[in-house]
């Protein structure tokens, strides 16, 4: 049901997941070297000119300094998840054992030592689930095809830098990309 | 540039393994499916008439089902070890093999998870073991090592499955971008709209590191908790504090051996020799040497402590374990786990695929025996009047063989339908190496 | 329309007799405890009756719920058993509910209705010539003897045409009594007051004469608090029976040698005394000089002297002997010593059994064609008569053989007409256990259903005989009255037992039915020797190997073989199930080429041959092979047929030992023995203590906390906890109201197994069959471990092992779903419908007393009608275990609450405690300072807990077995 709705989703809608508003023009430059990409991104950041996004087949954290958004909330969420897990684990074990006050093997109903294992495992479980959900939220996990300006080569050997701009900014965008030695430049 | 062409080549090498498989492949899958069907039919029969068709008895309440459970959980360990622990230690050779060992982990846990169910007297109420809010407000007993086990193994499965999947998403996108037809749709759905974009990568990279950090203590804890199923009891041969580290080491030992067993044919059949090289296998064989030494030390310590304790029950028990009804099993265990792996000290042996395969198989035989020796030895506990023996029945053999078939079937399905090498990580490694080369050159 | 007794008798007797017999099983039943108007569904009613599983005649209470007999227990106040019962009594319900019970008459292999069958049989009887009829039954005492005598009279037959046949008749006791004491009967023995008992092969704790009564007396004998201390018991015989195992000293000797020793001892004692008796003894025992007996038996002369000293010094000695020479020796010693423990004012009813000669005469007549019709009831001579008699062949010469057995057996198979009479639990009757002790037998249950529609509810043997006489055209009405057997019984009691009339009789009858009988007091009569005794010849040594046939504790003479409970209960000594073995010691075995248990041996005597597995243990004298009776049936239903060997097929008439050749066949079969190891491997599980050292022992380094003088005991109470010293990790949990506990006195436990079967009957514990026992799937909640020890004093140790109800139970915390929990009264409870079957609890139980349902065990129809409705029947996949009979605890608690009073000590009795003949098991509340368990646990220095060092604080406390060297 839900998937069917997603199937009908237009690529533009997918694009909007990442961008605040639909850009009038997307100027895409490709690179075969990550260092060229890094330099280009740095240049864009310094120019304060456009909204842009980088693409590439390896984790692009190396070019981070050239990007406007850096770091990730994932780690904070993981920490919070871990705290919730340890508290929740102990709480669950302690609370549920007071419901019937069952004595087993001479141990009082609420015995802390054995509950350490529950707390420990739930710390990891909840932290991991939180991490996954946070990642899914940040990276916008949706089972839909990528938008048309996404080039299949990005999965293989090509790096890309997309500039989102108004029609008036296109020329400047092209210039910036050319200066950064982009191998190909496309407009969408 | 050089790296670009090599990147494309990596894609080609890895993703061509996803090309539609031939008839032989489906024939093998079909054959394995027959064994799996036999397993489930046998389990069905057991559910209908009772668990008495297995060889367990008074006093041996746990039998091959728990042996296989522990065995498969153990197998599951090296995957996370390779992908998480070695990641944190920045061990580079892990990259080529981490995907397949993670897959092995997930599949092994899926295999292991079957056995506690098969083992239950009343499988139809297995969910009473789960902590869920129920009408009677009676929750599981969180003091029971079995509940810890349920929680730990569930956590382990969930975490390693998420880790496996998360790490695979960029590669699934790569597969999507190459595939056609229904495969394209399939990869589109499971790649979750991955676009290789920075906005995704920046969360992904942190998440990957988080997972590695969280999975590392999990590797240690899960098999520790499994070992506490035994160590928390009061039985001779079970009740011992050494069990946790000893089980973890054993798990890694068997897991590494299973990875070697699986990779040797896989790299050949999928033509991945250029990526998964003999060096990778050699590294694992070297780790096996370490594990064999740790386990040998643990075996020795167990016996030493039994003797040193002056505990009559414990010492007589160990004498029986070493020289009694299961002496053959015990010495097979010692030979396969501690002695034979030491042959890996010789470079010729650890770089020859035949000896690698034989020794890795023997390690797995030895590790199965270890679990058998531990579990069947409830046959000799405190009151001599209740002593007995345990042996597998045909039903248990069918179920055990079926579980192996299930494991290999799932692994084969994985190998031909999911990227069996972490493409983006290999590329990242290449970049890294190129960078280092440049620095050296400069 | 269903048939009632009245309409049945009306039909089969042409209406004349039945008119008066206005009664059905229920409107005349008078419950023992509460009156009929109080019978409420869901509330059990108890009926007093007499156990008819062996000739002992113990009183029995039968628990009835909604018309079904569920459980047999001892009848309190009964002079023989006083509230106790043995394995066989416990299992009698399985006879009534046996799946293979005959449901309708069979005439010439053809099933038919009762009316036709009775008419056919009557026709056949009417054609019989005068006097050519005979009746064979088991030993009877009371109205049946009189009825059968009159019945034979109707056919013109002599009284000696009535043979009361017992395969183990103990006629030699009667002969010895006649020849030596001038009293031709078996007296009533009372060893409870004796201080020295010498058993010459008399296994009175196993099967001999009256094991429940003797067990009870043995418990009194072994009471530590008794004036003068516990009595001594010595045993001499070819097999270490349960009695030998419990004796303070035992000698294993060849057959007859026990008697020879007894006579030699008598000679020594007589030699020291003056008097006519001594002279007679010296004259009679000329052949039994100490030297001759010592040479023949292997006992040193000084040992004989010691025995003589002990007997002579004892204040109340008692000698019991089984076998010809042994009985003579026992009678002689008892007479010589003038013991007050043998009361000759009462004759044990077994004295009334016909002699083997009487049976032989009848067989001769049958064989000679002098008998045309024979009625057989309650006995199986085709199986149990010696091959020499050729009973089966003689029977085939009799044209009309009417059998009243309700289970198929060898004799029934050889009969022409089978009229399956009711089980003793279903019908009226009486049985005089010993002179003056008239036991009542009354219907305790609705007859087992599924009878064909024209069947009466309970055709008792008496009814069938009366109907037969009527159908044969005899004047039954004049002979037996108009009210059938019930009327006849009442008349008999009125005239012969109660000797009252009118309202007084009615009242006395009602009381007799309520109390299970009418027991007359008598003043005791001590034995004295005859003036002249015939010289007793020295027994000829058989030379070579002797086969000794011993009645079985579980199956007696084979009449119990069809009961699954008894087949599956391990033999107390060999621990084998569903089999019989050729027992011999290692020396004998190796001389025959037998290496280990299960090697098949062939035993040949001049009467027959058997082949079967050997059981090698040191409880058998050199050169002796023992085969227990009871197995080797050919046609006794699925349970018994084809199991084991028939000892009777090797024996001459009226003897228990015979020369035999034994050889190994070279084959091997695995014996099924549920017990793991025979040795306790020095683990101190069954502890013993010399009597002189009680209370002064050195304990091991596990000396326990609990303030009991360094005993291996930690109270399962808050006081047993010691968190401040890290002895316990957690503080104690206070019990609420009660803390149930049990003590087991290992000095009194004789290993008889009554507790185990009582538990099975009470708690719906399943039988699994030999194949599943072999696979370790047996279900007994209570088992009796038997260890062999390399010890002179205690070569065999018994230990009942049941859930120890530990205060810190290892089984509980490991259960993932709280199926194993501790209840507030200290019980280790198991919630069956919560169990998912991980079996962790069983693994973690150091006592291995938890039992798992590996399959859905079958309670074959109608055995399922015996199931206790107060106890769940567990489904497959669920762990089960002893609960201290929590249903009984709750019942007593509810009753106490309803009566607004506390629960009294001894009021709660789990099934095992209730039945234990020796009183080895005591149950009670540790929070009650006056309770017997509290008393014993706090003050008996012998108290210890098994595997005490685990600090599980068990609620079952054992008392060390006392060694009286």
For A46-70, the DSSP string reads HHT--EEEEE-SS-GGGGGGGSSS-
CB contact under 8 A, B193 and A121: no
B36-70 pLDDT tens trace: 999 999 999 999 999 999 999 999 999 999 999 99
Contacts of B137 in chain A (CB under 8 A): 99-100
**Within 10 A of C774 (CB to CB), how many other CB atoms are there?**
18
CA distances from B140 to B232, C124, C772, C829, C953 (A): 17, 73, 33, 17, 25
Position C449 scores a pLDDT of 57
Cβ neighbours for B200, distance < 8 A, ≥ 6 positions apart = A138, A139, A140, B194
- pLDDT tops 60 at residue A119: yes
CB contact under 8 A, A104 and C813: yes
List the CATH code of the domain at C545-668. Answer: 2.40.40.20
- pLDDT tops 90 at residue C880: yes
For B124-140, the DSSP string reads GGGGGGS----TT----
3-class SS shares of chain B: helix, strand, coil, % to 5: 80, 0, 20
Position A147 scores a pLDDT of 85
**Within 10 A of B48 (CB to CB), how many other CB atoms are there?**
10
A17-32 pLDDT tens trace: 676 567 788 888 999 8
- Beta strands C106-107 and C417-418: pairing type? antiparallel
Position B155 scores a pLDDT of 95
B273 touching A (Cβ < 8 Å): no
For chain A, which chains pass the contact test of at least 3 CB pairs under 8 Å? Answer: B, C
| B72 membership: H or E segment, kind and range | helix B64-75
Q: Residue C137 forms beta bridges with which residues?
A: C164, C377
- pLDDT tops 60 at residue C7: no
Position C723 scores a pLDDT of 80
Inter-residue contact B378 to B387 (CB < 8 Å): no
DSSP state of C540: P
**Within 10 A of C269 (CB to CB), how many other CB atoms are there?**
21
Banded pLDDT at C447 (limits 50, 70, 90):
confident
- pLDDT tops 50 at residue C701: no
Banded pLDDT at C698 (limits 50, 70, 90):
low
| CATH architecture of the domain with residue range C109-169+352-418 | 3-Layer(aba) Sandwich (3.40)
Alpha helices in C406-540 (DSSP H): 410-413, 461-471, 476-480, 484-492, 502-515
Q: How far is A23 from chain C (nearest CA, A)?
A: 58
Q: What residue segments make up the domains of chain A, in order of their start? A: 74-138
A to B CB pairs, distance under 8 Å: 223
* Closest listed residue to residue B340, CA positions, set B370, B320, B360, B368: B360
Contacts of A81 in chain B (CB under 8 A): none
C517-566 pLDDT tens trace: 999 999 999 999 998 999 999 998 767 899 999 999 999 999 999 999 99
Banded pLDDT at C31 (limits 50, 70, 90):
very low
Distance CA C889, CA C823 (A): 13
Banded pLDDT at C30 (limits 50, 70, 90):
very low
- Structure ipTM: 0.93
Position C306 scores a pLDDT of 97
C733 touching B (Cβ < 8 Å): no
Q: What residue segments make up the domains of chain C, in order of their start? A: 5-102+425-457+472-519, 109-169+352-418, 188-343, 545-668, 688-963
CA distances from C389 to C170, C363, C380, C415, C653 (A): 18, 7, 14, 18, 7
The more confidently predicted of residues C237 and A150 is C237
User: Would you tell me which residues 423-442 of chain B have a C-beta closer than 8 angstroms to some C-beta of chain A?
Assistant: 423-424, 427-428, 431
Q: What's the pTM value of the predicted model, to 2 decimals?
A: 0.93
Position C42 scores a pLDDT of 77
Contacts of A107 in chain B (CB under 8 A): 143
Q: How far is A147 from chain B (nearest CA, A)?
A: 9
- pLDDT tops 80 at residue C23: no
Contacts of A55 in chain B (CB under 8 A): 195-198
List the CATH code of the domain at C188-343. Answer: 3.40.228.10
B360-387 pLDDT tens trace: 999 999 999 999 999 998 999 999 999 9
- pLDDT tops 60 at residue A14: no
Nearest to B120 among C778, C838, C946 (CB): C838
Pick the CATH number of C5-102+425-457+472-519 from 3.40.50.150, 3.40.50.10860, 3.30.200.210, 3.40.50.170: 3.30.200.210
Position C458 scores a pLDDT of 61
Structure tokens, C582 = 């050729």
C50-97 pLDDT tens trace: 999 999 999 999 999 888 899 999 999 999 999 999 999 999 999 999
- Beta strands C232-237 and C196-200: pairing type? parallel
* φ/ψ of residue C63, rounded to 5: -85, 130
Position A61 scores a pLDDT of 86
The predicted model gives C9-21 an average pLDDT of 38
CB contact under 8 A, A105 and C732: no
Nearest to B151 among A61, A121, A141 (CB): A121
Distance CA C312, CA C346 (A): 25
* Closest listed residue to residue B243, CA positions, set B298, B294, B312, B297: B298
Position C457 scores a pLDDT of 59
A63-92 pLDDT tens trace: 888 888 888 999 999 999 999 999 999 999
- pLDDT tops 70 at residue C102: yes
Cβ neighbours for C396, distance < 8 A, ≥ 6 positions apart = C414
Long-range contacts (CB closer than 8 Å, 24 or more residues apart) made by C776-779: C776/B57, C776/B58, C776/B59, C776/B60, C776/B388, C776/C674, C777/B52, C777/B57, C777/B58, C777/C854, C777/C855, C778/B58, C778/C568, C778/C577, C778/C674, C778/C851, C779/C851, C779/C853, C779/C857, C779/C880
Peptide bond into A132 cis (omega under 30): no
Position C33 scores a pLDDT of 43
- Cα angle value C467/C469/C474 (rounded, 5°): 130
CB contact under 8 A, A104 and C807: no
Structure tokens, C473 = 């055209």
B271-281 pLDDT tens trace: 898 889 999 99
A to C CB pairs, distance under 8 Å: 42
Of B4-8, C458-462, C918-922, the one with minimum mean pLDDT is: B4-8
Of A143-147, B33-37, B254-258, C424-428, the one with minimum mean pLDDT is: A143-147
Share of chain C above pLDDT 70, in %: 93
C-chain residue closest to B50, CA distance: C855
* φ/ψ of residue C256, rounded to 5: 75, -25
| C200 membership: H or E segment, kind and range | strand C196-200
When the pLDDT of each residue in chain B is averaged and rounded to a whole number, the result is 93
- pLDDT tops 50 at residue C472: yes
CB contact under 8 A, B50 and C877: yes
| B4 membership: H or E segment, kind and range | helix B2-15
When the pLDDT of each residue in chain C is averaged and rounded to a whole number, the result is 91
- pLDDT tops 80 at residue C578: yes
Q: How far is B171 from chain A (nearest CA, A)?
A: 8
Q: Which CATH class is domain C688-963?
A: alpha beta
- pLDDT tops 80 at residue C454: no
Share of chain A above pLDDT 90, in %: 34
- pLDDT tops 60 at residue C112: yes
User: Would you tell me which residues 387-426 of chain B have a C-beta closer than 8 angstroms to some C-beta of chain A?
Assistant: 423-424
CB contact under 8 A, B146 and C675: no
Of B93-97, B169-173, C138-142, C207-211, the one with minimum mean pLDDT is: B93-97
Position A2 scores a pLDDT of 45
Position C89 scores a pLDDT of 96
Position B7 scores a pLDDT of 87
Sheet holding C68-74, edge to edge: C45-50, C59-65, C68-74
Sheet holding C943-944, edge to edge: C921-925, C740-745, C956-959, C943-944
């Amino acid at each position: 049901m839900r998937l069917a709705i997603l199937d009908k989703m237009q690529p533009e809608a997918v694009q909007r997941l990442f961008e605040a508003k639909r850009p009038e023009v997307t100027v895409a430059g490709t690179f075969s070297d990550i260092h060229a990409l890094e330099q280009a991104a740095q240049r864009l950041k310094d120019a304060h000119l456009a909204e842009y996004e980088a693409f590439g087949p390896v984790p692009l954290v190396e070019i981070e300094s050239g990007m406007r958004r850096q770091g990730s909330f994932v780690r904070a969420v993981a920490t919070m998840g871990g705290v919730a897990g340890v508290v929740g684990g102990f709480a669950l074990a302690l609370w549920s054992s007071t419901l019937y006050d069952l004595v087993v093997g001479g141990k009082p109903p609420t015995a802390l030592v054995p509950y350490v294992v529950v707390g420990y495992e739930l710390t990891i479980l909840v932290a991991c689930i939180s991490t996954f959900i946070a990642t899914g939220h940040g990276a916008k996990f949706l089972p839909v095809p990528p938008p048309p300006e996404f080039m299949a080569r990005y999965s293989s050997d090509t790096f890309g830098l997309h500039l989102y701009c108004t029609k008036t900014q296109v020329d400047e965008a092209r210039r910036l990309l050319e200066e950064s030695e982009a191998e190909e430049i496309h407009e969408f | 540039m050089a790296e670009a062409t090599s990147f494309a080549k990596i894609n080609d090498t890895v993703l061509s393994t996803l090309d539609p498989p031939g008839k032989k492949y489906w024939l093998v899958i079909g054959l394995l499916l027959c064994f799996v069907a036999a397993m489930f039919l046998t389990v069905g029969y057991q559910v209908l008439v009772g668990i008495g068709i297995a060889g367990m008895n008074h006093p041996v309440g746990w039998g091959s089902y728990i042996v296989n459970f522990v065995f498969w959980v153990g197998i599951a360990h090296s995957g996370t070890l390779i992908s998480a622990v070695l990641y944190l230690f920045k061990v580079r050779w892990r990259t080529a093999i981490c995907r397949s060992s993670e897959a092995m982990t997930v599949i092994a846990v899926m295999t292991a998870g079957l056995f506690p169910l098969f083992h239950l007297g009343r499988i139809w109420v297995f969910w009473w073991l789960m902590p869920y809010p129920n009408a009677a407000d009676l929750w599981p007993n969180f003091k029971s090592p079995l509940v810890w086990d349920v929680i730990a193994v569930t956590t382990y499965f969930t975490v390693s499955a998420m880790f496996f999947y998360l790490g695979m998403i960029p590669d699934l996108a790569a597969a999507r971008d190459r595939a056609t037809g229904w495969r394209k749709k399939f990869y589109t759905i499971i790649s979750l709209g991955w676009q290789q974009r920075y906005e995704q990568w920046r969360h992904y990279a942190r998440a990957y590191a988080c997972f590695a950090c969280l999975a590392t203590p999990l590797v240690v804890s899960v098999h520790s908790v499994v070992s506490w199923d035994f160590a928390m009891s009061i039985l001779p041969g079970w009740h011992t504090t050494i069990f946790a580290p000893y089980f973890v080491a054993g798990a890694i030992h068997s897991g590494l051996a299973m990875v070697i067993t699986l990779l040797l044919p896989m790299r050949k059949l999928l033509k991945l020799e250029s990526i998964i090289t003999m060096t990778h296998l050699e590294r694992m064989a070297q780790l096996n040497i370490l594990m064999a030494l740790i386990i040998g030390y643990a075996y020795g310590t167990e016996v030493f402590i039994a003797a040193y304790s002056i505990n009559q029950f414990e010492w007589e028990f160990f004498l029986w374990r070493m020289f009694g009804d299961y002496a053959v099993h015990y010495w097979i265990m010692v030979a396969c786990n501690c002695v034979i792996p030491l042959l890996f000290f010789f470079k010729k042996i650890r770089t020859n695929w035949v000896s690698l395969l034989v020794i890795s198989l023997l390690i797995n035989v030895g590790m199965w025996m270890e679990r058998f020796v531990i579990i069947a030895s409830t046959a000799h506990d405190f009151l001599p009047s209740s002593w007995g023996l345990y042996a597998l029945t045909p039903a248990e053999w069918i179920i055990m063989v079926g579980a192996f078939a299930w494991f290999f079937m799932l692994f084969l399905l994985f190998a031909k339908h999911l990227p069996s090498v972490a493409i983006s990580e290999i590329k990242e490694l290449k970049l890294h190496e190129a960078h280092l080369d440049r620095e050296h050159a400069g | 329309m269903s048939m009632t007794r009245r309409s049945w008798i009306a039909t089969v007797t042409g209406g004349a007799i039945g008119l008066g017999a206005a009664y059905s099983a229920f409107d005349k039943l008078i419950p023992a405890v509460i009156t009929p108007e109080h019978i409420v569904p869901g509330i059990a009613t108890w009926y007093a009756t007499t156990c008819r599983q062996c000739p002992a005649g113990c009183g029995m209470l039968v628990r009835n719920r909604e018309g079904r007999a569920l459980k047999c227990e001892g009848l309190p106040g009964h002079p023989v058993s006083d509230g106790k019962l043995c394995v066989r009594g416990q299992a009698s319900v399985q006879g009534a509910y046996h799946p293979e019970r005959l449901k309708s008459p069979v005439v010439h292999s053809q099933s038919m209705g009762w009316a036709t069958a009775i008419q056919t049989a009557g026709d056949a009887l009417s054609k019989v010539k005068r006097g050519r009829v005979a009746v064979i039954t088991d030993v009877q005492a009371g109205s049946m003897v009189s009825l059968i005598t009159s019945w034979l009279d109707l056919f013109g037959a002599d009284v000696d045409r009535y043979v009361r046949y017992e395969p183990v008749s103990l006629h030699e006791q009667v002969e010895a009594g006649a020849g030596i004491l001038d009293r031709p009967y078996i007296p009533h023995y009372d060893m409870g007051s004796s201080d020295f008992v010498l058993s010459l092969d008399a296994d009175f704790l196993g099967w001999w004469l009256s094991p429940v009564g003797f067990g009870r007396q043995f418990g009194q004998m072994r009471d530590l608090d008794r004036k003068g201390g516990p009595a001594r018991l010595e045993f001499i015989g070819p097999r270490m029976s349960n009695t030998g195992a419990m004796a303070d000293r035992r000698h294993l000797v060849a057959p007859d040698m026990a008697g020879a020793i007894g006579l030699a001892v008598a000679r020594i004692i007589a030699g020291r005394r003056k008097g006519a008796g001594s002279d007679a003894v010296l004259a009679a025992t000329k052949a039994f000089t100490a030297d001759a007996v010592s040479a023949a038996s292997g006992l040193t002369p000084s040992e004989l002297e010691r025995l003589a000293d002990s007997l002579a010094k004892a204040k109340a000695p008692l000698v019991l002997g089984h076998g010809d020479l042994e009985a003579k020796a026992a009678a002689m010693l008892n007479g010589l010593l003038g013991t007050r423990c043998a009361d000759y004012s009462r004759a044990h009813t077994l004295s009334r059994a016909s002699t083997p000669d009487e049976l032989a005469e009848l067989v001769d007549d049958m064989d000679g064609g002098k008998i045309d019709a024979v009625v057989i009831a309650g006995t199986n001579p085709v199986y149990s008569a010696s091959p020499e008699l050729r009973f089966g062949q003689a029977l085939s010469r009799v044209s009309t053989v009417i059998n009243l057995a309700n289970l198929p057996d060898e004799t029934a198979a050889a009969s022409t007409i089978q009229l399956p009479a009711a089980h003793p639990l279903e019908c009226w009757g009486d049985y005089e256990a010993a002179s003056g002790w008239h036991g009542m037998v009354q219907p305790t249950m609705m007859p087992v259903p599924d009878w064909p529609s024209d069947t009466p509810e309970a055709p008792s043997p008496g009814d069938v005989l009366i109907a037969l006489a009527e159908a044969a055209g005899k004047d039954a009405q004049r002979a037996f009255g108009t009210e059938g057997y019930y009327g006849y019984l009442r008349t008999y009691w009125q005239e012969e037992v109660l000797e009252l009339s009118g309202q007084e009789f009615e009242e006395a009858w009602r009381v007799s039915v309520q109390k299970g009988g009418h027991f007359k007091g008598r003043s005791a009569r001590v034995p004295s020797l005859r003036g002249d005794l015939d010289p007793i010849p020295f027994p000829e040594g058989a030379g070579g190997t002797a086969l000794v046939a011993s009645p079985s504790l579980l199956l007696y003479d084979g009449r119990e073989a069809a009961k699954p409970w008894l087949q599956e209960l391990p033999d107390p000594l060999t621990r084998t199930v569903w089999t019989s073995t050729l027992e011999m010691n290692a020396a004998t075995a190796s001389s025959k080429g037998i290496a280990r248990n299960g090697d098949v041996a062939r035993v040949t005597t001049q009467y027959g041959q058997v082949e079967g597995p050997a059981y090698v243990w040191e409880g058998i004298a050199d050169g002796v092979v023992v085969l227990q009776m009871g197995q080797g049936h050919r046609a006794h239903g699925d349970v018994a047929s084809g199991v084991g060997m028939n000892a009777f097929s090797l024996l001459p008439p009226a003897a228990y030992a015979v020369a035999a050749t034994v050889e190994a066949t070279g084959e091997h079969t695995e014996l099924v023995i549920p017990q793991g190891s025979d040795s306790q491997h020095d683990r101190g599980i069954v502890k013993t203590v010399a009597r002189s050292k009680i209370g002064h022992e050195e304990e091991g380094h596990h000396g326990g906390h609990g303030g009991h003088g360094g005993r291996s005991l930690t109270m399962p109470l808050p006081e047993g906890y010691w968190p401040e010293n890290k002895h316990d990790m957690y503080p104690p949990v206070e019990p609420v109201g009660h803390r149930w506990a049990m003590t087991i006195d290992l000095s009194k436990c004789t290993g008889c197994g009554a507790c185990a079967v009582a538990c099975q009957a009470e708690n719906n514990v399943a039988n699994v069959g030999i194949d599943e026992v072999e696979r370790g799937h047996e279900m007994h909640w209570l088992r009796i471990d038997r260890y062999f020890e390399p010890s002179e004093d205690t070569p065999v140790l018994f230990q009942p092992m049941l859930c120890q109800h530990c205060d810190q139970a290892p089984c509980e915390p490991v259960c993932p779903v709280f199926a194993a929990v501790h209840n507030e009264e200290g019980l280790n409870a198991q919630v069956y419908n919560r169990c998912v079957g991980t079996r962790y609890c069983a693994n973690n139980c150091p006592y291995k007393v938890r039992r798992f349902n590996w399959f859905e065990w079958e309670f074959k129809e109608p055995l399922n009608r015996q199931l206790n409705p107060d106890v769940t029947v567990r489904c497959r996949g669920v762990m089960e275990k002893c609960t201290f009979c929590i249903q009984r605890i709750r019942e007593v608690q509810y009753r106490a609450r309803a009566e607004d009073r506390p629960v009294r000590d001894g009021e709660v009795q789990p099934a095992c405690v209730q039945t234990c003949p020796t009183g080895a098991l005591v149950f009670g509340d540790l929070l009650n300072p006056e309770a017997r368990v509290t008393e014993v646990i706090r003050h008996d220095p012998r108290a210890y807990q098994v595997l005490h060092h685990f600090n599980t604080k068990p609620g079952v406390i054992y008392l060390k077995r006392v060694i009286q060297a």
